[in-house]
Amino acid sequence: MDINKRKEEFHAYVEKMGGYEEAVNVMYWDMRTGAPKKGVKQRSNVLAMLSSDIFSMSISNEMAGYIKDLGDEEVKKELDAITLKMVEECKKDYEQNQKIPEQEYREYVMLTSEAGSIWEEAKEKSDFSLFEPYLEQIVAFNQKFAEYWGYEGHKYNALLDTYEPGVTVETLDRVFGDLKETLLTLLQKVQKAESPKTDFLYEAFPKEKQEAFSLEILKELDYDFEAGRLDETVHPFAIGLNPGDVRITTKYDESDFRVAIFGTIHECGHAVYEQNISKELVGTNLCTGTSMGIHESQSLFYELMIGRTKAFWERHYEALKEHGGSQFQKVNLDEFYQAVNEVKPSLIRIEADELTYVLHIIIRYEIEKALINGEIEVKDLPTIWNDKYEEYLGVRPAHDGEGVLQDVHWSDGSFGYFPSYALGYIYAAQLKNALVKDLPDFEERIQQGKVTEIRAWLTKHIHQYGKLKDPLELLKAATGEGLEARYLVEHLTEKYSKLYNL
């Protein structure tokens, strides 16, 4: 075998899959940002066709051949790091996709597709019983998949690994345990303290002005507009088509400007990650974020460590006042800072504040883990959910629509995904701790609008590698440690102690 020739063929094959994926992503973006509705049906056929091409290529005999030939121990010695990792990723996908019997997989795809619309209906009617039989089957499938894929320790590890390679129940129990205690204590104290005034947050802020302000902020946060653009959608997202084209969308709520401003900063963090992946990785399957958790760490770094800080608003509050209406005239910077960081335990995850958000995730984690392990049953979920909300957050859903049915994730079978959100918080705080050692004037830089060096630090330690390194490998190299919750504990304790005079 001519290794170089084989390697080239493999690269071309993977690049082709990536090309199809880029086409799919352009069409996805287009569907969300204004494709005319009458064309959607046919467009969906095209999307399904290309997605199915990608899937077929991932489990083809040709792919099996590459994995065998280039995965050979002798051959591996002659391969570069990028190719080695590419093969490893392909092998992982191949095995994941191959281990499930075809017939079962097809049933599962149909089940989750149907479950999506049933979940919508159930949520609207606040009727868990509609969704229950579907969820039971989805859980059963995921339990079987875990067996097919194999795992060490807890069965849930098999699912976790698909979103956050290397992170296990053992790790999560430890870090979430550490966090839960602090969060609950902090929350108790905060609730006894005086709440900030927040009425001004809900006064009219014209959409065009929000957009103009968002564009200003994006530029200052080192988002490259020659490699991106900002559009409007119902649900904000960032999408990397290639590192030269990473788009952000946001949502403008005229009676709550925070949705757009903090949403845009959050998506900007996702986007600068993808914009700064090394050009060497373009055309490979490594040219994307390494995991859901690390991706979220970048968006949360931008949102929390930059966008929700006092320093950031010291720089930007005047401009916000200029763009906004008269509501800000009576509000000084301190009051503004307190208001946008208000803590208020609530029922809905996506509306949660920085302090309580992780508790929403911990609740889901505890439920998923027990569910997959067969310790609890689907039929008991509403009660378990409501009890946990009451216990951790002091609020109890009045109906399942604002309770166990609120999130889409289970309807599409994404068990193991939720922890990524909390991991993003933990990684972000841990990275910030390491970053300030290199850039002790972190705060001053934000105050002065000099974010480039901060972004460059993240690029150096995270962005550039794309999927070339695993999450914990990146974390270790950047911080010298494994996953540690204590930096997030410190961050939250310090921030909220100051904010609420605890």
Site for a copy of itself contains 434 (CB under 8 A): no
Site for a copy of itself contains 281 (CB under 8 A): no
Strands (DSSP E) contained in 175-265 are 230-232, 238-242, 245-250
Output the smallest distance, CB 502 to a copy of itself, in A.
45
Q: Considering only residues 44-73, where is the footprint of a copy of itself by CB under 8 A?
A: 45-46, 49-50
Q: Are 312 and 446 in contact (CB under 8 A)?
A: yes
Contact string 456-475 vs a copy of itself (x = CB under 8 A) = --------------------
360 known member of a binding site: no
Q: Which of 42, 61, 329, 501 binds a copy of itself (CB under 8 A)?
A: 42
Q: How far apart are CA 212 and CA 420, in angstroms?
A: 32
- Residue 148: Cβ within 10 Å count: 14
Output the smallest distance, CB 34 to a copy of itself, in A.
6
Longest CA pairwise span in the chain (Å): 75
End-to-end CA separation in angstroms for the chain: 69
270 known member of a binding site: yes
Output the smallest distance, CB 33 to a copy of itself, in A.
10
Strands 230-232 and 245-250: parallel
Q: Which of 3, 6, 11, 19 binds a copy of itself (CB under 8 A)?
A: 19
Site for a copy of itself contains 16 (CB under 8 A): yes
Q: How far apart are CA 68 and CA 176, in angstroms?
A: 40
Q: Which of 4, 8, 39, 185 binds a copy of itself (CB under 8 A)?
A: 39
- Residue 372: Cβ within 10 Å count: 24
Output the smallest distance, CB 23 to a copy of itself, in A.
4
Q: Which of 3, 27, 82, 259 binds a copy of itself (CB under 8 A)?
A: 27
Q: How far apart are CA 364 and CA 288, in angstroms?
A: 27
Strands 245-250 and 238-242: antiparallel
Catalytic positions are 267
Site for a copy of itself contains 208 (CB under 8 A): no
Output the smallest distance, CB 464 to a copy of itself, in A.
16
Contact string 472-501 vs a copy of itself (x = CB under 8 A) = ------------------------------
Helices (H), 150-202: 157-163, 169-192
175 closest CA partner among 433, 425, 360: 425
Q: Considering only residues 212-251, where is the footprint of a copy of itself by CB under 8 A?
A: 224-229, 241-245, 247
Q: How far apart are CA 139 and CA 386, in angstroms?
A: 20
Residue 350 burial (10 A CB sphere; 0-12, 13-18, 19+): exposed
Output the smallest distance, CB 260 to a copy of itself, in A.
20
154 known member of a binding site: no
- Interface contacts to a copy of itself, rule CB under 8 A: 15-16, 19, 22-23, 26-27, 30, 34-43, 45-46, 49-50, 224-229, 241-245, 247, 282-283
Report the binding-site residues for Zn(2+): 266, 270, 296
